[in-house]
Structure 1
Amino acid sequence: MPNSAPIHSITASTSGTAGNVGNTGNAPGGGSAGDSTPSNATAPRMRFTAQEKKWIVYDVGNSAFVLLSTAVVPIYANSLLEAAGQSNIVSTWGYAQTIASLVIAVLTPLLGSIADVQGMKIRFFTGFLLTGVVMCCAMALPLGWLAFLIVCVLATIGLNGSLTFYDSMLVDVTTDERMDRVSSHGYAWGYIGSTVPFIACIALIFGGPALLGLPTVLCTRISFVITAIWWIAFTIPLLTSYRQTHYRATRDKTGEAIRGTFDELRSTFRAIHANKPLWMFMIAFFFYIDAVNTVISMSTSYGTQLGIDPTQLVAALLVTQFVAFPCAIIYGRLADRFGGKTMIVAAVIVYLCIVFFAAFFLRTATEFWILAILVGMFQGGIQALSRSYYGKLIPKQHADEYYGFYDVFGKTASVLGTFLVATTTSITGNASLGVLSITILLALALVFLLAQKDPTRG
């Protein structure tokens, strides 16, 4: 996507806090975070800035791997499992995703605290990014099912680790007033942009054997390499332009800041716990994002175990991307009118209905299509608004550290969700009951959301 071309026009008032003003960072524990910006309230319309567009474009890159991991990788893993005499892909895939989520949940708070040092955020982002890209390429090697799952777990760790620091970059590239729109457009363009390499990969997988004389397995492996190239290509604009404007220490104080990291983590956790609206939201987020991530990561494996044709699964998930594109943008606009929290509550209620539908009615390809479209309508919105709503509640100069805790809650929830589905399915032998267990988490999330007072709405 050319960076000189505006992605979208928005109406924005940039008065208030969270401006992109450099932090002097004179003390290792903090520094003045310049959080005020000149008002542009008189300007009726503003286009995305160059920084905002380059931040959005990374979603186009990483979403290609997310889509491939959702639609193709579980089917390929299932073929490896079947060849090895294994049968229950739902539980096996669920445990693999649980391990990846657990590693990220343990690492991100510590690394996030260190990354709040001036100049460190981009280094951690790059490290996880390269891990994900290299492991994505390694998935193309002729591996057995266990080795493939290990490499897949490492690729997932690289992806989710990069997203932790990418999410925290949001406070550096935009303002509170624009945050919902920018975050929503990131997910939206990620959905639509990811379809380009995905369609190429699917065309190769299904058409390669007949047109090129290549085995389907080889075509599938080549698709992993195509996805990795797309991922890194759309990361270059962000890598070459990003500047960290909110931080808690300067680079010459890095050693002192790192030594104080654990004290900072304890202090941040106490600060989060003392901030009741933030704490209530994080508990709610823990439960509802669990359901969202579990539905995303387990949908194809669930459909595969139900015996739905893989072609139907892939086609339905591709359509989901096109549905999600406008819906994510619309969700951002609705948040401007009704508030981010209100729209998050609405999405949680819809997800309750989606999970009930999946557990009780999903049996055929037609019903999977219905499920995929419903998920596409609300998935991007709830993810984007969660990211931006949280960004409005936290101190900007500690963004990495706070987003580290944000990911602990999100990724630990993913551990619970996939583990719950996998364990319930293993014990009962019924994948539908495993899916149904997610409703408990959504109901708990709804309770905490309704109990939380929204500090962004006066």
Structure 2
Amino acid sequence: MIAPDRRAIAAWCLYDWANSAYNTVITTFVFAVYFTRAVARDEVLGTAAWSRAMAAAGLAVAILSPVLGAVADHTGRRKPWLALFTALTVAFTTALWWVKPDPSSMALALVCVALGTIAFELANVFYNASLPAVAPPSMFGRVSGWGWGTGYFGGLACLIVALFGFVNNEAPVFGLFSTTDQENVRATALLVAAWFGLFSLPLFLWVPDEPGPAKPLGRAVREGLATLWRTIGHARQYRQIGRFLIASAFYRDAINTITAFGGIYAAGTFGMSFEEIVLFAIVLNVVAGLGAVGFAWIDDWFGARRTILISVAGLIVSGVPLILATDKTAFWVLALGLGLFFGPAQAAGRSMMARLSPEHMQGEMFGLYGLSGRVVGFFGPLALGFATEAFASQRAGMASILVFFAVGFVLMLGVRDPLRPTR
């Protein structure tokens, strides 16, 4: 047991505030829509190309995350790895400024988004694995939930700045960015890069890091790979972890796919403008943030497994009528109901992984957590892309994601809650 350090907890949660700007503005509501509407030749082609880039990024993360997690466990220190991949995310996000509203910029956009997403996801492996460094096990659910909630509000704050300072601003922004070649929209990438870099700094200042064993990097790589191989070879010893990794992979992929393509879907199916999409995202982030914070206590009191099952069931119940909705008002209401369960499912998954992970193996286990999500993870964007092309309908593409929620729920029923004793 460790005494909770309020400053460290606040700094740790603030990293969620920082990195949520990337998911919210770049891969969901602003830049993704800009790519399909202004850069690609048409929205169907843009959706398919974007989905393939996300799938390629997911495959790379699946390969790299468990390896780097195991290596980090042997070097001891996680913050240098987190700093490296945070810096890479900021760099590739900055490069999106040069993506102009022309099909000739498609390759640049897809490469930068794919590489930025890889760096972003790898940073999260080390960020999530640092949860035991800031909170005792009795508070894993609350701190994880507070982090997710803070992240949603961070995404909200960044979207407000993007809306009123850039997207919906006809006058040059700060005298620098005009509406020519949609500079005001492209500048949101610079906003996200600055946001991520600035608000991630407190974590590196105040969150403790495990002391390194002073091993050369080459030795740490060899030992990390050997440990990872032994873990896979002795999978029966980690049966509950394996079951959870498989179950969570499906519902996490469904959530990630919906959030990644939600803005594209709203624009293409309901004809929402940039301003409407950003306003919708603001309200959605408020609801999702409240859900994550509200369920944080339920996680610690009743267990992560029950929290996940309730959340995934809520996502299915909200998702079916959402796909069938044809009225914009109905879409708004149902989407907000869906958003209420986003945060709790993800936050409880993080806390459950922290509870299941053996001591001194958090990096490797969260790497496997990333691997499991990405092994299935690239199927979500691919399924959406293929269904969209096959039926020439974004609605059909989004409907394919409900299957992933259902599979995740059924598999989660076979996972034992780590807070409950084995019979």
The TM-score with structure 2 as length reference comes to 0.91
Q: Give the deviation of 1:85 after TM superposition.
A: 5.4
> For residues 413 and 354 of structure 1, do their structure 2 counterparts lie closer, same or farther at Cα, with a shift above 3 Å needed?
farther
Native 8 Å contact 2:74 2:223 kept in 1: no
Native 8 Å contact 1:168 1:403 kept in 2: yes
| CA distance in structure 2 between the aligned counterparts of 1:51 and 1:272, rounded to whole angstroms | 34
| CA distance in structure 2 between the aligned counterparts of 1:139 and 1:449, rounded to whole angstroms | 39
**Match runs of 1:183-194 below 5 Å:** 183-194=144-155
Corresponding pairs, count: 411
Q: Does 1:58 align with 2:21?
A: no
- What's the counterpart of residue 71 of structure 1? 29
| CA distance in structure 1 between the aligned counterparts of 2:317 and 2:258, rounded to whole angstroms | 13
Deviation readout 1:60-119 (Å, 9 max, x if unpaired)? 11111211021101111013344x456433322211211111111111111111111245
| CA distance in structure 2 between the aligned counterparts of 1:360 and 1:133, rounded to whole angstroms | 38
Q: Give the deviation of 1:439 after TM superposition.
A: 2.5
Q: Give the deviation of 1:230 after TM superposition.
A: 1.2
Listed as ranges, the gaps of 5+ residues in structure 1 are 1-18, 20-36, 41-46
What RMSD in Å do the two structures reach over aligned CA positions? 2.1
Q: Does 1:139 align with 2:104?
A: no
**Match runs of 1:145-294 below 5 Å:** 145-210=106-171, 214-215=178-179, 217-245=182-210, 250-252=213-215, 254-294=217-257
Native 8 Å contact 1:136 1:155 kept in 2: yes
Q: Does 1:94 align with 2:51?
A: yes
Q: Give the deviation of 1:325 after TM superposition.
A: 2.0
Q: Give the deviation of 1:233 after TM superposition.
A: 0.7
| CA distance in structure 2 between the aligned counterparts of 1:409 and 1:48, rounded to whole angstroms | 31
| CA distance in structure 1 between the aligned counterparts of 2:10 and 2:382, rounded to whole angstroms | 37
Aligned with 2:313 (options 346, 349, 357): 349
| CA distance in structure 2 between the aligned counterparts of 1:192 and 1:163, rounded to whole angstroms | 18
Query: How many percent of aligned residue pairs carry the same amino acid?
Result: 25
Native 8 Å contact 1:316 1:368 kept in 2: no
| CA distance in structure 2 between the aligned counterparts of 1:336 and 1:207, rounded to whole angstroms | 42
Aligned with 1:367 (options 315, 330, 333): 330
Q: Please say which structure displays the higher CA radius of gyration.
A: 1
| CA distance in structure 2 between the aligned counterparts of 1:211 and 1:244, rounded to whole angstroms | 43
Larger helix proportion, structure 1 or 2? 2
| CA distance in structure 2 between the aligned counterparts of 1:147 and 1:219, rounded to whole angstroms | 19
- What's the counterpart of residue 11 of structure 1? none
Q: Does 1:389 align with 2:352?
A: yes
AA at the equivalent of 1:256: R
**Match runs of 1:9-48 below 5 Å:** 19=1, 37=2
The TM-score with structure 1 as length reference comes to 0.84
- What's the counterpart of residue 417 of structure 2? 454
The DSSP-based 3-state class of the residue aligned with 2:413 is helix
Native 8 Å contact 1:312 1:365 kept in 2: no
> For residues 377 and 307 of structure 1, do their structure 2 counterparts lie closer, same or farther at Cα, with a shift above 3 Å needed?
closer
> For residues 436 and 455 of structure 1, do their structure 2 counterparts lie closer, same or farther at Cα, with a shift above 3 Å needed?
same
Deviation readout 1:366-401 (Å, 9 max, x if unpaired)? 233123312321111111110011110111301111
- What's the counterpart of residue 114 of structure 1? 71
> For residues 272 and 235 of structure 1, do their structure 2 counterparts lie closer, same or farther at Cα, with a shift above 3 Å needed?
farther
- What's the counterpart of residue 380 of structure 2? 417
Native 8 Å contact 2:304 2:417 kept in 1: no
- What's the counterpart of residue 31 of structure 1? none
| CA distance in structure 1 between the aligned counterparts of 2:195 and 2:125, rounded to whole angstroms | 20
| CA distance in structure 1 between the aligned counterparts of 2:45 and 2:267, rounded to whole angstroms | 10
Native 8 Å contact 2:99 2:106 kept in 1: no
AA at the equivalent of 1:397: H
Native 8 Å contact 1:140 1:224 kept in 2: yes
- What's the counterpart of residue 296 of structure 1? 259
| CA distance in structure 2 between the aligned counterparts of 1:96 and 1:354, rounded to whole angstroms | 28
The DSSP-based 3-state class of the residue aligned with 1:111 is helix
AA at the equivalent of 1:154: L
AA at the equivalent of 1:177: S
Aligned with 2:86 (options 129, 138, 143): 129
| CA distance in structure 2 between the aligned counterparts of 1:199 and 1:222, rounded to whole angstroms | 14
> For residues 236 and 206 of structure 1, do their structure 2 counterparts lie closer, same or farther at Cα, with a shift above 3 Å needed?
closer
AA at the equivalent of 1:238: L
Deviation readout 1:135-169 (Å, 9 max, x if unpaired)? 11111114412211211112211211111110011
Native 8 Å contact 2:141 2:348 kept in 1: yes
AA at the equivalent of 1:150: V
Native 8 Å contact 1:316 1:372 kept in 2: no
> For residues 297 and 319 of structure 1, do their structure 2 counterparts lie closer, same or farther at Cα, with a shift above 3 Å needed?
same
> For residues 81 and 435 of structure 1, do their structure 2 counterparts lie closer, same or farther at Cα, with a shift above 3 Å needed?
same
AA at the equivalent of 1:240: L
